[in-house]
Amino acid sequence: MKFLCTRCDEVMKLAGAQAGDDTVGLTFSCPKCGGSFAMLTNPAETTLVKGLGVQVGGRSEPAPLMEVIQSSVARDTENQITWDPGAETRLANVPPFARPMARKAIERFAESKGIRTITAAVMDEARALM
């Protein structure tokens, strides 16, 4: 995700970041006109972002060619996680715009615990930590 300056359509740059226990504050500035804005996440957003493994600020150098695809394929073939029907049904109750993020966060939680099958109980455990 990138933010564009509304004045000059330039890509905003991360100018600062402050992380608390349950919030993250980010400041962005425009290198062309100097415009800026700030963003503050709430505890639920912070937990979701941490669960997805997002790094604030991006990379200092571009990713090696095909790195994202290669790591994704390797992860998918090595760590197959399955969802039991009850868990899939329960996941269907999550709003469609948030469903992929919720699925990924729960799968990462399961991977960290060595769990290979997502059940309603696993979902409850992951939710309690988020």
Full set of structural domains in the chain with CATH = 1-43 (2.20.25.420), 59-129 (1.10.8.550)
101-115 mean pLDDT: 90
Question: In this structure, what are the phi and psi dihedrals at residue 13, rounded to the nearest 5 degrees?
Answer: -110, 145
**Tokens encoding 56:** 């604030």
Average pLDDT, the chain: 80
In the prediction, which pLDDT does 84 show?
Answer: 94
Q: Which residue has the higher pLDDT, 72 or 110?
A: 110
Average pLDDT of the residues in 71-77: 57
- Considering the chain, what percentage of its residues have pLDDT values greater than 90? 19
Write the burial class of residue 29 (CB in 10 Å: 0-12 exposed, 13-18 middle, 19+ buried): middle
Instruction: Provide the pLDDT confidence category of residue 40 given band limits of 50, 70 and 90.
Output: confident
What type of residue is 29? S
